[in-house]
Amino acid sequence: MSPKIEVTKDGSNTLLHPKFNTHYHSIFGAIEESNHVFIDAGLKFIKTNLQNDTCRILEVGFGSGLNAFNTLISSEELALNIDYVGVEQYPISIEIVSQLNFPKAFKREDLQSTFYKMHDTEWEKSVKISKNFTLEKRQQDIFNFKDENYYDLIFYDAFGPGSQPELWTAPIFEILFKSLKDKGVLVTYCAQGAARRAMQSVGFTVQRCPGPPNKRHMLRAIK
């Protein structure tokens, strides 16, 4: 059964997953949430700490491709080269992709074919999507993730604790902690106390930051 496409308050799409009965993005504004949590609190925050103009990003929950597409657009504005790895256990179909309105919602209809390409590329293979954006999609269980000391930034966009509680525990955050470089950053929309304590238990320094629309807080964790 395919996820259902819905329109959020800022006019951009989200998806409702049939198995977990949860949304991929905030119904109060998918793009607004992506900008606030992953671009402003993540990419722009870490930009000043990068040793060069390259940023390696891991996204847990590639999903609709919204955050990756937003990062590609932001990489142009920030003059950054992005090496992006997206992990996703439940890829969406190209049929669903073709109905998502992200290029139009960003007012970047010129990137419609680029957005499609991001979803249509081979899995488990690094592909150059644009001049300064390289994407590798991996269809795997994050519990089996092996990369260590590689990423500058993690977008943690897994389904929430109410849907997949196992993804908000210390074993997961230990894997992610190891995957980050020293001073690397993890950002997530979730601000649940148990998740914050799990992050702290594996060594993260966790900041509770103002949240996106209709959420009081979000979390930023630093290695």
pLDDT in tens, 20-56: 999 999 999 999 999 999 999 999 999 988 888 999 9
Domain contains 23:
no
User: Which CATH number goes with the domain that contains 197?
Assistant: 3.40.50.150
Read off the pTM.
Answer: 0.97
Residue 162 lies in a domain: yes
Residue 67: pLDDT over 90? yes
Residue 218 has φ and ψ, to the nearest 5°, of -140, 175
Q: Which two tokens stand for residue 178?
A: 């190891």
In a domain, 10, yes or no: no
CA distance 78 to 118: 20
Looking at the chain, the whole-number percentage of residues with pLDDT higher than 90 is 96
Q: What is the pLDDT of residue 108?
A: 98
Residue 17 lies in a domain: no
Judge whether 6 lies within some domain: no
Is residue 21 in some structural domain? no
On the question of pLDDT at 130 being above 90, the answer is: yes
pLDDT at 5 over 90: yes
Domain of residue 106 covers 30-222
Q: Does some domain include residue 15? A: no
Count how many domains the chain has.
1
pLDDT at 129 over 90: yes
In this predicted model, what pLDDT tens digit does every residue of 169-223 receive, in sequence order? 999 999 999 999 999 999 999 999 999 999 999 999 999 999 999 999 999 999 9
Residue 99: inside a domain, yes or no? yes
pLDDT tens, residue by residue, 68-97: 999 999 999 999 999 999 999 999 999 999
What pLDDT is recorded for position 158?
Answer: 96
